[in-house]
Chains A and B, each alone.
Chain A
Amino acid sequence: MFTRVKGDPFGSMFIFILLMTFWLLISASVDWQHILVGVIFCSLLTVFWSNLTISEKFKTDFSLKQIYLLIRYLILLAVEVISANITVALIVLNPRMPISPGIVIMRCDLERSLIRVLYVNSITLCPGTITVELEGNLLIVHAFTRQYGQEQENSPQYKRLLDLEATYKK
């Protein structure tokens, strides 16, 4: 139980800060009692959760470049969400409903679990595609039309996330 915490102190610290920020945002007051209770429970959670949140293989690592890439990616994602909703509105409110749906099976080369989750979520929020399955490097996508499915592999999100993962490997 305690070995993992010793193995990756930076990761435990990061999770502790995350939980503490959440606690302070929810409680919305900075009395010493609130902070004391928060510190006690956040450290308990960090210790007991350490075998779930911290893995031996991928150590927690942080740099400013990753935050910059992540913010750029999130801005791109917000634009994509708006365009996806307009696409869905145009398709649904069109009386003829111009769709020919189907399944596309393709490859996904991302390895870190957080980045995989981000990629899957961004596929679901992108125009015309939702994720059906991601196992290993096999990715199954459901698309509204053929064109959306084929464009997905060369999407700008995927390139951004590959850039983001390349920063971890150095």
Chain B
Amino acid sequence: MVLQYIAVFFLLGGFFFLVVGVVGLLRLPDVYTRMHAMGKCDTLGAGMVLIGLMLLIMDITNITKLILIGVMIATINPIVTHLIAKTAYNRGTPMAEGSFLINDYVASQRRRRRQQVDNNKKGDGKS
């Protein structure tokens, strides 16, 4: 009996996150922010629904199949999110107004090189 209540908790939580994903899809301004909502909420929502179903079924062969479905959702969902965002970016889809752009590439390369120089100095001092 307690198990069924736990299963219902997981199912309702999963439905809540799926609904949040759809609301985000409707409310957020552009493609990239919409992909935030879909990519994250679908993973946890479908995962929680699968856990609830596992608790209700309690049959080892079917549970392994549900676990496989969960693993596939958790790997495929971020990849498809990444693909949609990449295609949109390479096609030049406009972002929402007031978007920022931080280019940290050169700065991080410089930071890394300085770190390497420091490490080399330390190595020399020790030896």
Spell out A's residues near B (CB within 8 Å).
22, 25-26, 28, 81-82, 84-85, 88-89, 91-93, 97, 99-107, 109, 120-121, 124-125, 128, 130-133, 138, 140, 142, 144, 146, 149-150, 153
Contacts and interface: CB of A to CB of B under 8 A. Distances in A.
Contact of A106 (B17, B23, B98, B105): B105
B96 interface: yes
Given A92-B28, A93-B23, A99 B102 contact: no
A101 B78 CA distance: 19
Contacts of B112: 107, 109
Given A104-B102, A149-B102, A130 B81 contact: yes
B24 A92 contact: yes
Contacts of A138: 105
7 contacts: A89-B20, A100-B99, A100-B100, A103-B100, A130-B82, A142-B33, A146-B102
A88 B95 contact: no
Contacts of B10: none
Interface stretch (B1-9, B34-42, B117-125): B34-42
A130 B35 contact: yes
Q: How large is the interface on B (under 10, 10 to 19, 20 to 34, 35 or more residues)?
A: 35 or more
B36 A81 contact: no
B24 A132 contact: no
Contact of A130 (B17, B32, B102): B32
Contacts of A104: 101-102, 104
Nearest to A91: B24
Contacts of A102: 95, 99-102
Nearest to B30: A101
Nearest to B75: A121
A25 B86 CA distance: 35
A52 B23 CA distance: 41
A130 B39 contact: yes
Contacts of A99: 28, 33
